[in-house]
Amino acid sequence: MIRFEQVTKRYPDGTTAVDGLSFEVSEGELVTLVGPSGCGKTTTMLMVNRLIEPTSGRILVGGEDIATVDPVLLRRRIGYVIQQVGLFPHRTILDNTATVPSLLGWKRARARARAAELLDLVGLDPHTYGTRYPHQLSGGQRQRVGVARALAADP
């Protein structure tokens, strides 16, 4: 569960990016943030993992106020996909998907097995797509790799 309680983000120059935002997303619920450029969608998402700190209000993840959680530990528990996935162009799709588990110290075989499982889950046959590189995929396929990578460490 993610809950925003009257969250505001105001920058030092006085610009308000998010103003008194309150909402709740239940576990398993799918939510899409939609709005014009500059309305605060990205800022809202960056506040969930504390890449940007809110000016006021509270954000809870799993019932826990994220302001009390070490940001590094918080980020290890959260996986999310941004519009520009940011795949490593010189690494295969399988290796891109296995990046986070590898960084967390998983053995190579376990990380690659998890990556293959998740590629299959998002509709990309690991035998077909695992050896390809990002430039060989469509935008939608790259987005699915981003979803698989976000789930790779069991957030």
Give residue 103's pLDDT. Answer: 86
Q: β-pairing, 64-65 with 16-25?
A: unpaired
Rounded to two decimals, what is the model's pTM?
A: 0.57
Residues above pLDDT 70, as percent of the chain: 94
Residues above pLDDT 90, as percent of the chain: 54
Note the CATH number of domain 2-77: 3.40.50.300
Nearest alpha carbon to residue 65 among 23, 115, 116, 5 = 5
Beta bridge partners of 8: 56
Tell whether the model's pLDDT for residue 36 goes beyond 80.
no
SS3 111: helix
Structure confidence by residue, pLDDT tens digits, 66-103:
999 999 888 878 766 655 567 888 999 999 999 988 88
Give residue 44's pLDDT. Answer: 94
Which token pair is 154? Answer: 């069991």
Burial tier of 138 (Cβ tally within 10 Å: 0-12, 13-18, 19+): exposed
Break the chain into its structural domains and give their ranges: 2-77, 93-151
Q: Which of 60-64, 116-120, 140-144 shows the lowest mean pLDDT across its residues? A: 140-144
Structure confidence by residue, pLDDT tens digits, 104-137:
899 999 999 999 999 999 999 999 999 999 888 8
User: Helical H runs in 17-81?
Assistant: 41-48, 71-77
